[in-house]
Each structure stands twice: as C-alpha cells, then as structure tokens.
Amino acid sequence: MLQVEGLRAGYGPLEILHGVSLEVPAGSLVALLGANGAGKTTLMRTLLGLLPARSGRILFAGQEVERASVERRVRLGLGLVPEGRELFPSLSVRENLLMGAFTRRGRAAIEADIERVLTCFPRLKERLALPAASLSGGESQMLAIGRALMSRPRLLLIDELSQGLAPAIVESVLAVLVRLNRDEGLTILLVEQNARKALKVASLAYVLQSGSIVLQGRPDDLAASPAIQHLYLGGE
C-alpha cells in the first residue's frame, strides 16, 4: 500500500529525516515508535505532502506521489489524523466531519459516512451540533479520526494517538481502530509514544531515532529486544 524509500526532509537548512525507508502492507496496522523529536511528525507531514520531500520516493497505491499535492494524495486515499488534532474549534462536530469530505461529491454517500463515523464513535452523536471547542480530549481525538475517515482513506496516518488522553480512552479509541482494520480492511500507520500499547495491536513495527529507522520487525520480537525494553518499555 505504501512504500517509502530513502526519504529526506527537513526545515530550512535543517535535515530531519535522513533517508527513511519503510513499508506499510495493505490491510496491516503498522506502529511507528520513537522518542520526542525523532522526526515522527515530520515523516507524517512529508507523507501527506505538507512538507516537501527533498529526495527519496513515496509509492502509494502503486503511484509515485512524492511530488503530488496534498489534495491529490487525499484523493488517492491518504488520510491524516494530525498531532494536536487541529480541529476547527468554532465549527460544530458535524461541520468538522463535513470538512473531512472536502474532496468528495455525493451528498447521500457523505451523509451515510457521517452515520458510519457516529456508529464508530457514539459519543459524538449527542454532540453533533456543539462546537468542537466544547469537546473533551478523548472526544476531540474521536472527531479528528472521524474527520479523517470522511475522506474514505485507504491508509490512515495517525500521529500521536494517545497524546493527552486518559489510558481508558486510549484503549477504547484503539479498539475502534483495530475493528476498522480487521473488519473493514483499513490500513493504518500509527505513530505512538506509548510503545507498549502500540506493539500490542500492530502487525509490524518500526523505530525511528534521530531521523533514521533503527529497528523494524514483528511487534513480539521488538518488545523482546533489550534496546526497546530499555528505551521505550521502562525496562519491564
């Protein structure tokens, strides 16, 4: 579904990603782990096209997209749940969801997808007419995921799912994502600081450190690796 080869990107004179290569197979749930400042957000932004790739390739759904506009990548099926959610605070929950459908036409299908999102996240149903600013942290994350689902992505990029959320909320949101992955075949690339939770649900994992992939493999193998234990699992 997604193949990244030798991707370099950064800000001004600063190179942050030093040739990142990774693969997200169709139907998989892949975890991307890494400490603060490793470059995870930079990678997500470069994949979507918010930040230009300086070199390297991004193959998505069989097409080279590293020079394509954000809109083209969204139309091809890339969806991003950004770090910090980036909702439109004064717009209602429903209007935020509609914003996610900006590349689409067809009212009936869009309405059906709003229903689908509300089935995934019933808490949003009662809040549909309220401004996004009135939502709790967990509800905001649900809305950010729902908004991304409105573009009908084939690959959902999720940046820092658990940031600022209570553990119970993280579990319930993760359960929805696992269901979408398993039952609807949604491919997911999950960026997480909480390695333990991410490794539990992923089928493949990568570790990004200082802008390079330093480890990759099956979650069980990674969880057992001394480096991961030491760095990300608190030595347990």
Residue ranges binding ligand ATP (CB under 6 A): 11, 14, 16, 34, 36-42, 83
Give the phi and the psi of residue 187 in degrees, each rounded to 5.
-85, 135
Q: Cβ of residue 83: shortest distance to ligand ATP, in angstroms?
A: 6
By beta-carbon proximity to ligand ATP, the closer residue of 36 and 90 is 36
How many angstroms separate the CA atoms of 14 and 155, rounded? 29
Closest of 8, 10, 153, 145 to residue 66, by C-alpha: 8
Instruction: Tell me if residue 18 falls in helix, strand or coil.
Output: strand
By beta-carbon proximity to ligand ATP, the closer residue of 13 and 62 is 13
By beta-carbon proximity to ligand ATP, the closer residue of 92 and 193 is 193
Closest of 153, 98, 147, 142 to residue 120, by C-alpha: 142
Closest of 169, 162, 141, 167 to residue 81, by C-alpha: 141
Q: Cβ of residue 27: shortest distance to ligand ATP, in angstroms?
A: 26
Q: Cβ of residue 197: shortest distance to ligand ATP, in angstroms?
A: 15
By beta-carbon proximity to ligand ATP, the closer residue of 122 and 234 is 234
By beta-carbon proximity to ligand ATP, the closer residue of 42 and 181 is 42
How many angstroms separate the CA atoms of 224 and 137, rounded? 32
Q: Cβ of residue 133: shortest distance to ligand ATP, in angstroms?
A: 23
Q: Cβ of residue 16: shortest distance to ligand ATP, in angstroms?
A: 4
By beta-carbon proximity to ligand ATP, the closer residue of 23 and 83 is 83
For 82, 98, 117, 141, 183, the CA distances from 123, given in Å and listed in that order, are 21, 17, 10, 12, 21
How many angstroms separate the CA atoms of 188 and 27, rounded? 8
Q: Which amino acid is at 166?
A: A
Q: Cβ of residue 45: shortest distance to ligand ATP, in angstroms?
A: 8
